[in-house]
Amino acid sequence: MASSVAIYGKRKRALISNKLYLMIMLPEFYETNLKRELGRAEYLLLKILINLLQSIKTVSLEALATALPIPILFESRRKKIQRFLSLNYINVEEIWITHS
């Protein structure tokens, strides 16, 4: 049972990562601002998370971690997302409002 769950998770991540070219892009102003405010790795993770939310339409750490196309353990993907979302400067006031 556990192996079929792991295989399903890998297949799902592979399907989503193959559709990254379909990612809906952010408006240019937001992209420029986000690139300035975030590091390269954080910016890429944010773009991947936006794509995942648009693809799977599920807002839970477990669902996002299952679909995140990074070749690390599930628990590490979950913790990576959790740490990213808890950063002090990842909020609307810091990124969108103060720079508009």
Q: What is the pLDDT of residues 15-40, one digit of tens each?
A: 555 554 455 566 777 788 788 888 89
Nearest to 38 by CA among 49, 22, 24: 49
Residue 92: pLDDT over 70:
no
Q: What is the mean pLDDT of residues 77-90?
A: 89
Give the mean pLDDT of the chain.
Answer: 75
Statement: residue 3 has pLDDT above 50: no
The whole-number pLDDT of residue 11 equals 59
Q: What is the DSSP string of 16-64?
A: HHHTGGGPPPPPHHHHHHHHHHS-HHHHHHHHHHHHHHHHH----HHHH
Query: Per residue in 68-78, pLDDT tens?
Result: 999 999 999 99
Residue type, 43: Y
- What does the pLDDT read at residue 56? 84
